[in-house]
Amino acid sequence: MMPGKVTASHQKYETDCKQCHESFNRQKQTRLCRQCHKEIDKDINKQTGYHGRIANISRIECNTCHTEHRGRTMDIVKLDKQAFDHKLTDFPLEGKHRTVACTSCHKPAKKYRKTANSCYSCHKESDAHKGQLGKKCQQCHTEKNWLKVKFDHNKTDFKLTGEHQKNDCDSCHINQNYENTPTECVSCHITQDIHAGKFGKKCHQCHQTEKWSVIVFDHDKQTKFRLRGNHRNTNCDSCHNKNPYLYQTGKKCISCHRQDDIHRETFGNKCHKCHQEKGWLKNTFKHNRDTSFAISNKHAQVNCIDCHQANPFMRKADRTCHTCHKTDDIHKGSQGKQCDNCHNDSGWTGKVAFDHDLSDFPLIGLHASVSCDECHIDSHFKKTPSQCYSCHQDNDFHKQTFGKKCQECHNPNAWSRWSFDHNRETDFQLQSSHNNLECHACHLTSNGKDLPPQQCNACHATDDIHNGNFGIQCDRCHRQDSFSNIKAFN
């Protein structure tokens, strides 16, 4: 029943039909082929290799292309090397590979699928690196020309920029050693490091690849300390005595200007409150603007340390006059510590502006023209008596008969201008002859609690010709113009 001899490669299965055929079932033949040719079956399942790339391969029977029973010498593969499309394989031919003879890669008596497809398998002898860069030649070389390198150094951990792009590979890769090549600037530029390693190995923080001598470090943007004024003209070493990437450089003014501090740190470390970068001696502090204590006149001529004995930013100076002018206080503290109520900063002894009207004893009348020392015999002003009698004892015509409350009758306009109105301020009306009497004619004692009696006979007992027989109400008959004048008696 066998239609003809099988090919030489299948000869050992020629008498065992079940290897390729199943009775009465042609569709099973392809399955049996793939069971035997496992590599091709794997390609079809993964869609790799030549068979895996054939369109609708799962629907095509194997015997469509590979016919058997045609004799031992029959070529059942039917490979046309001239018309074969290498793109259908796992290794498309590109560049110079298109003109290479098949036998250059496919050796005799070796399956085509077993041919190595790595660059190194064919170009080992062309490897100038002697295997030091590995076997992934395609990362640098192309199929167009082995000597034309397409390696992109920027895809590595070290991008080539500026002058680095012009350097030969050997400049950094000594003896074509590409592994563990140092990437720190100092590894190549140690002879150009004018800092002698003081600033460490982070050269790229300041230098650039365009030109080593061009500094790109921006102190204002890359640090928290902006350079202004004279700071911009200062050498880095003036502030950075040590590696700034390992040691924190002091940012306070006193770190560099300790020798310029004439206050000897009395004012603390906030030098920038007064000094500026344009010049240490240019003081920008304005006492009237920057504090709540305005200074003028004599105060403007005083040295800061005369008032600020301690750090003014830690301990505020006492702003009371008495703190500085205690020795100038002739009152010895008796007038308190608010010296500015009288004195001003034009001069301690000149233009004293005390308003006596704001005291307990306003100056009115003739008192306003009296010199201070007539009442204030010493500088303890508060102890000065304020009673009239203390100054006007010699003017007391009554010799204290009316007590010491002189102000009840007299006024500051003049001692002789007394303003007591007997009719308005007492219960005894003075009329006629009573108006011309001296006060002490009736007021024999102090005008305090002992008031004289108001009955007529208290003064006119000697004038009573009735000897008291008509009682003491003399005013029922007698008149005040004259005791001898009798009223019309009804």
Distance from the Cα of residue 55 to its chain's centroid: 70
In the three-class reduction of DSSP (H, G, I as helix; E, B as strand; rest coil), residue 57 is classed as: helix
C-alpha separations of 189 from 110, 167, 212, 223, 235 in Å: 55, 14, 9, 25, 21
**Is the same domain home to 360 and 419?**
yes
| 407 lies in some domain | yes
345 and 269 both lie in a single domain: yes
Q: Are residues 342 and 281 in the same domain?
A: yes
- DSSP 8-state symbol, 487: P
Q: What is the pLDDT of residue 324?
A: 83
With beta carbons less than 8 A apart as the criterion, state whether 286 and 266 touch.
no
Separation of alpha carbons 164 and 60, rounded Å = 58
Question: Which amino acid, 71?
Answer: G
124 lies in a domain?
A: no
**Stated pTM of the model:** 0.38
Query: Is 332 within 8 Å of 290 (Cβ atoms)?
Result: no
Task: Give the separation between CA 184 and CA 157, rounded to whole angstroms.
Answer: 12
Q: Are 365 and 411 contacting, i.e. CB atoms less than 8 angstroms apart?
A: yes
pLDDT attached to residue 38: 94
Is the domain of 365 the same as that of 294?
no
The verdict on 307 and 396 lying in the same domain is: no
Give the Cα separation of 388 and 374 in Å (integer): 13
Tens of each residue's pLDDT in the chain, 490 residues = 788 999 999 999 999 988 888 887 777 888 999 999 999 999 999 999 999 999 898 888 998 889 999 999 999 988 888 888 999 999 999 999 998 899 889 988 888 888 988 888 888 888 888 887 888 888 888 888 888 887 888 888 888 888 888 888 888 888 777 778 888 888 888 888 888 777 788 888 888 888 887 887 788 888 888 888 888 888 877 887 777 766 777 888 888 888 888 777 777 788 887 888 888 877 777 888 878 888 888 888 888 777 877 777 767 777 788 888 888 888 877 777 888 888 888 888 777 777 888 888 888 888 888 888 788 887 778 778 888 888 888 888 887 777 788 888 888 888 887 778 888 888 888 888 888 888 778 877 655 556 778 888 888 888 888 888 888 888 888 888 887 888 766 6
Helix-, strand-, coil-residue percentages of the chain, each rounded to 5: 35, 5, 60
The H-or-E segment that residue 417 falls in is strand 414-418
Q: Are residues 348 and 415 in the same domain?
A: no
Burial 297-308 (b: 16+ CB within 10 A, else e): eeeeeeeeeebb
Same domain membership, residue 344 and residue 268: yes
Neighbours of 459 (CB within 10 A): 17
- Angstrom CA distances, 197 to 115, 213, 241, 245, stand at 55, 16, 12, 12
Residue whose C-alpha is closest to residue 402's, from 423, 418, 386: 418
Has residue 38 been placed in a domain?
Answer: no
In a domain, 212, yes or no: no
Q: Is residue 45 included in any domain, yes or no?
A: no
Q: d(Cα 432, Cα 479) in Å, to the nearest integer? A: 9
Same domain, 312 and 266: yes
Apex CA 343: angle with CA 339 and CA 348, to 5°? Answer: 105
The DSSP H or E segment spanning 416 is strand 414-418
User: What is the token pair recorded at 177?
Assistant: 């050693």
CA angle 258, 260, 265 (to 5 degrees): 50
Residue 306 falls inside a structural domain: yes
The domain in which residue 397 lies consists of 355-370+392-433
Instruction: Please name the residue that has the structure tokens 């004012």.
Output: 267
| 399 and 343 part of one domain | no
Q: What is the total count of domains within the chain?
A: 2
455 backbone dihedrals φ, ψ, rounded to 5°: -70, 145
Q: What whole-number distance in Å separates Cα of residue 161 and Cα of residue 152?
A: 12
Residue 104 maps to a domain: no
- Does some domain include residue 260? yes
Residue (of 445, 450, 454, 488) closest to 473 by Cα position: 454
